[in-house]
Amino acid sequence: MVDAWGGWSLFQNLLQTLKKIASNHGVSIPTVAVKYILDQPSVAGSMIGVRLGLSEHINDSNAVFALELDDEDVNSIQELTKKGRDLLKVIGDCGDEYRRA
Closest CA to 65 of 29, 24, 35: 35
Residue 98: the pLDDT is 58
Comparison of pLDDT for 92 and 68, the residue scoring more: 68
pLDDT confidence of 82, banded at 50, 70, 90? Answer: very high
pTM of structure:
0.79
pLDDT confidence of 27, banded at 50, 70, 90? Answer: very high
pLDDT at 32 over 70: yes
Number of domains in the chain: 1
Residue 60 structural domain: 2-48+55-98
